[in-house]
Amino acid sequence: MSDSKSIFRTLIADAINEIIKEKMPETPAVNEKTVVVQDSPDPKMGDLGSPMFVFAKSLRMAPPAIAQEVVQKIGEKASSFGTVLNVGPYVNVKLDKEKVLASILSKIEDEKDSYGSLGENGKPLLEGEKIMVEFSSPNTNKPLHLGHMRNDALGESVSRILKKAGAEVYKVNIINNRGIHICKSMLAYKLFHEKNGDTPETLGMKGDHFVGQCYVEFEKYLKGEKDKPETAHPQAQQQAEEMLVKWEAGDPEIRALWKTMNDWTFNGVNETYKRTGVSFDKFYFESETYLKGKDEIAKGLEKGIFFKAEDGSVRVDVTEAVGKGKDGEDHEKVLLRKDGTSVYITQDIGTAISRHNDWPFNQLIYVVASEQIFHFKVLFYILKKLGFEWANKLYHLSYGLVNLPNGRMKSREGTVVDADDLIDSLHADALKAIKERGREDDVDDADDVAEKVALAALHYYLIQVSPVKDMIFNPEESLSFNGNTGPYLQYMGARIASILRKAENDGISPLEAKDAAVFLKAAEEWDLSKRLGEYPQVIAKAAANKDPSVVAAYLYDISKLFAKFYQNCPILSAEDENTKKARLTLAKATLQVLKEAMNLVLVPYLAKM
């Protein structure tokens, strides 16, 4: 279908340019990208249509007259895919369904896993592009939680989609492993666990969970019990700050404890990454990058890009990037405190420069929550002011908050839902459903299937919403085997796989794609095939917008269309042998696209469930 649209668009552009050459040679030729091709609202008038209004002014002709002349010029050129006709101001094409079906199914059959990667010119959409994607960015004072899961799902999915579109992708993760929040966990460990020699191993806990527990313990120790204010210890904040000073001074004892607890957390977080199918090409650590950028600030100060304020701090006017304040004042951003110490954005400046030196990218995508929109506007502006041309290729993939039905999560109060606990809970519910349905023996490994269903439920629910929107994660809804969910997609894939297995066992083979189209006459077959043909456009749109929800919506469409096709067009029970084999060909093509697209949105494929 996408090929038909592309050919149609090119033919119309060529015809318009012929008219220009004949009647108005001084008028610039049109680019085929300006030609709009859309699905026709009424199949009786054709399958695709292109409005001629946009060319009326430059050609000084009425749109219906342009349409009539374009149709005359296209003539037999469109016979490879359909019949062209003009309907008022539109040039329409009534597709030759058999030819289009044969083209779509053959393309899927020939290209297999690479189907969807190629653009209209036959080359990978993002060929030659080097794109770095930063995501996750956990703190080493707690385990990954539901908020991280949305970040991780978006970052990993966008990376896979960009790679599918032909880009070379490099995934990076900045580990926030220093600062006052880390020292709070360390202080709690010294207060409550050190004397007992507690470790994650002795307590039977994952390292990140144990360190996260220490962080919660610090906050409770600091504030005391709500109904017993005398149990508060306000001096704990100063103790944590003193610990940070010692850390920055390189105190051996503090550094040793810091390394031990960081390793506990980092190793635990890595286990969660492995479990969820998330991976990185390189880890950056804040402890190694937090001093970066100071030299760049000094250079900028020397060039007059930055200025020294009355209090001695180094600042930059960012009003041009973010606008004036609410009272009309200019916006200034501190880059170095008056004592010469760096702030968070100083580190980000240095880290961005280091990354481009490490791996010269064409684009760097930061997957960070919408709360940091201001920060990234300022960061990108400063890097441009410093003269880095690649700063124009920096992109903030902003996403909304994710909460639970019972409200917002708070780390310091211990109300965060740990990622592992959430997946464990989804896993348990999925396993229970498998047992209740009596499917344990049918799925080979019920525990493995339950894990994959849990991951599908989590990832798809987080991805199917547009990134910019806040969302509420409902665990019960996410696990449903009906409706717009990951498990529903898995079920549909398993159903198709079951049909193909049964056919193979019965000695029935699908027809070759080029031969199958002759026998696919039903409307449901056409609708499904047409949507399969649009997969390359879906990949192009998802990659351009950096939006995995585009692929998620497409997957749901394909699943619904297959369900309708399966219900109204019997496959193995079809009376005609050729129709049976042709429908198997369509089912096989559907599974090929379904499996491949599911991987892009982190939904594990299951052959049985």
Q: pTM value?
A: 0.92
Give, as one character, the DSSP assignment of residue 440.
Answer: T
pLDDT at residue 76 in the model: 81
Q: Is 147 within 8 Å of 401 (Cβ atoms)?
A: yes
What is the structure's pLDDT at 341? 83
- Scanning the structure block, which residue is given the tokens 């009539």? 68
What is the number of other CB atoms lying within 10 angstroms of the CB of residue 548?
Answer: 28
Cα distance between residue 59 and residue 469, in whole Å: 43
Give the tens place of pLDDT for each residue, 131-185: 999 999 999 999 999 999 999 999 999 999 999 999 999 999 999 999 999 999 9
Return the structure tokens found at 499.
């049909």
Please report the pLDDT score of residue 412 as a whole number.
Answer: 44
Q: Is 564 left (phi over 0), alpha (psi -120 to 50) or beta?
A: alpha
Task: Give the largest CA-CA distance in the chain.
Answer: 92
3-state secondary structure at position 418: strand
pLDDT tens-digit readout, 2-60? 578 888 999 999 999 999 999 988 889 999 889 999 988 888 889 999 999 999 998 99
What are the tokens at 80? 């490879």
User: What's the rounded Cα separation, in Å, for the pair 444 and 394?
Assistant: 47
297, 336 Cβ separation under 8 angstroms: yes
Burial class (CB in 10 A: 0-12, 13-18, 19+), 3: middle
Which pLDDT belongs to residue 407? 55
Per-residue b or e along 464-486, where b marks 16 or more CB atoms closer than 10 Å to that residue's CB = bbbbeeebebebeebbebeebbb
Task: Tell me the C-alpha to C-alpha distance, in Å, between residue 542 and each of 16, 165, 434, 590.
Answer: 30, 9, 34, 20
Q: Which residue is associated with the tokens 């199958």?
A: 516
Residues of the chain with pLDDT under 70: 1-2, 120, 226-227, 407-416
Give the per-residue pLDDT at 411.
44
Task: Give the CA distances from residue 272 to residues 106, 267, 318, in Å, rounded to whole numbers and listed in that order.
Answer: 40, 9, 39
Q: Which CA distances in Å does 499 have to 494, 502, 581?
A: 9, 5, 12
135: burial class by Cβ within 10 Å (0-12, 13-18, 19+)?
A: buried
Per-residue pLDDT, 14: 95
Whole-angstrom distance, CA of residue 555 vs CA of residue 483: 12
Arithmetic mean of pLDDT over the chain: 93
Residue the block writes with tokens 């965060």: 416
The answer for residues whose C-beta is within 8 angstroms of residue 304's C-beta and 6 or more apart is: none
3 state DSSP class of 508: coil
Question: Would you state the pLDDT for residue 446?
Answer: 95
Dihedral of CA 105/108/110/116: which sign?
Answer: positive
